[in-house]
Amino acid sequence: MNGLAEAVGSFALTRWVSRKSRPDFERWQATALRRFLDRDLPRAPFYRHAPTRLADLPVTDKALLIGRFEDFNIHGLTATQAWAVLARDGRAGALTVGASTGTSGNRGLFVISEAEKYRWLGAILAKAAPDLFWRGMRVAVILPQNTGLYDSARKSRLIKLAFFDLTVGPESWRGALEAFDPTVIIAPPKILRYFAAENFQLRPKRVFSSAETLDPVDRPVIENFFRLPLDQIYMATEGLFAVTCRQGGLHLAEDSVFFEFEPAGEGLVAPLVTAFRRRTQIMARYRMNDLLRLSKEPCGCGSPLRCVDEIVGRMDDVFRLASANGPILVTPDVLRNAVLNADRRIDDFRLVQTGPDRVELRLPPTLADDAAAAAHHAVRALLEIRKAAAIVTLVRASLPLETGRKLRRVEYRAELAR
């Protein structure tokens, strides 16, 4: 099957599955998962003698995957070989090697086939812009690194795709982006917000936040500027995990990924993912580092795919503090809300745990002093209620656009300080 046929087939399957009832969808998913476990899983050396039931498989993570990379892909490509391929052109014969940006710590690696690239393209188009697909699209992808996933889109006559390198700064490609006049923009929320602040001349039909946590404080600024609802694409090195529907529901990609959820406190969960449509690099019961708040109600669009109310942040950025009763964990959403709810004038901040009992709140000098004092008090009060032993320091400093790393308004850095 050629690339275009793969993309069209994946597009059609994704749309077809989205029209099923939940019970019918679960039956379809169970069959697809069973086929993956029987046929594809044993092809990777790590799973050659694995149990046949998903629940009996070991939980994996990034450290294990990178440490034994050759055991998780069917071609025996080692991590050393993959990094060398990546340093050249990202091509290993018919395979594409990609990596995460590394802006949040250890870089993740992936390897996919040509067929998988086109299947990914068809799936994301079916979810993100099915009505624009046949009319032609100009897609601007603004990320810190071209992962190779988007190469398949460049070869399609229906899509014109332009990649803009975040690391060189928006002003270096502003003219080119405006001249491209994209109908779809995919970018981190901090960049979409920068477009608003600098009044970029853009007229897209769809705008997607991707690659970073979308904080509630950014949404109204971006939506008011573009005069469009802001949608999300939740994607990581490990795959495509959720896309917003036209009614605003952020649907999990359960048509290609089986999700298990581990409770993480505060009503949040951390996902274990099994990508049952991937055949080159096997991802089974892989522990993601993200914290999600699942929706309790199905989406009004009628899709059987479950929704996420919020991608709260990363497990790595949960604050870990001591108390008289033992260690205390405080999740990023609780910390963020304490700052933002303190005063309506606060629209940007950084809250960083810099040591075992040290927290730093950074607010711009342009913010009114009483608003800054209210936020400082709110964070201290939150930690006092939790009986956490911590000194919260208020720092007034500018918060410039950082293009070399992901924006993390709430960040745990105590380990780095040791």
SS (H, E, C) 169-186: CHHHHHHHHHHHCCCEEE
Is the same domain home to 208 and 349?
A: no
pLDDT in tens, 119-129: 888 898 889 88
Confidence grade of residue 230 (pLDDT, cut at 50, 70, 90):
very high
Q: Residue 308 is part of which domain span?
A: 3-313
User: What CATH number corresponds to the domain at position 342?
Assistant: 3.30.300
**CA 26/CA 90 separation, integer angstroms:** 36
pLDDT in tens, 37-47: 999 999 999 99
Is the same domain home to 227 and 366?
A: no
Is the same domain home to 31 and 47?
A: yes
Kindly report the pTM of this predicted structure.
0.87
What's the pLDDT at 219? Answer: 94
Going by the DSSP 8-state scheme, the letter that residue 83 receives in this structure is: H
Is the same domain home to 377 and 297?
A: no
Query: Across all residues in the chain, what is the average pLDDT?
Result: 89
- Domain count across the chain: 2
Query: Does the pLDDT of residue 415 top 80, yes or no?
Result: no
Going through 266-405 in order, the beta strands assigned E by DSSP cover 268-275, 286-287, 290-294, 307-314, 319-321, 328-330, 350-355, 358-363, 391-396
Give the end of a domain, one of 255, 283, 313: 313
Is the same domain home to 301 and 170?
A: yes
Q: What's the rounded mean pLDDT across residues 243-258?
A: 94
Both structure tokens of 3: 């690339």
Q: Where are the alpha helices (DSSP H) in 341-386?
A: 369-385
Q: Provide CB contacts within 8 A for 29, sequence distance 6+.
A: 254, 255, 258
Query: Does the pLDDT of residue 418 top 50, yes or no?
Result: no
Is the same domain home to 117 and 7?
A: yes
Is the same domain home to 225 and 175?
A: yes
CB of 110 closer than 8 Å to CB of 73: no
pLDDT in tens, 340-370: 999 999 999 999 999 999 999 999 999 999 9
Query: Does the pLDDT of residue 226 top 60, yes or no?
Result: yes
pLDDT in tens, 383-401: 999 999 899 999 999 998 8
Going through 54-179 in order, the beta strands assigned E by DSSP cover 91-92, 95-99, 109-113, 137-143, 159-165
- Transcribe 192-224 into DSSP letters: HHHHHHTT-----SEEEEESS---TTTHHHHHH
Both structure tokens of 240: 């495509």
Is the same domain home to 344 and 238?
A: no
Is the same domain home to 100 and 217?
A: yes
Confidence grade of residue 150 (pLDDT, cut at 50, 70, 90):
low
pLDDT in tens, 21-66: 999 999 999 999 999 999 999 999 999 999 989 999 999 999 999 9
Is the same domain home to 40 and 172?
A: yes
Beta pairing, strands 268-275 & 206-210 = unpaired
What's the pLDDT at 148? Answer: 60
Which comes out higher in pLDDT, residue 74 or 415?
74
Give the end of a domain, one of 313, 336, 367: 313
Give the end of a domain, one of 288, 313, 338: 313
Is the same domain home to 154 and 253?
A: yes
Is the same domain home to 233 and 116?
A: yes
User: What CATH number corresponds to the domain at position 255?
Assistant: 3.40.50.12780
Buried/exposed 218-251: b ≥16 CB within 10 Å, e otherwise: bbebbeebbeeebbbbbbbbbbbbbbbbeeebbb
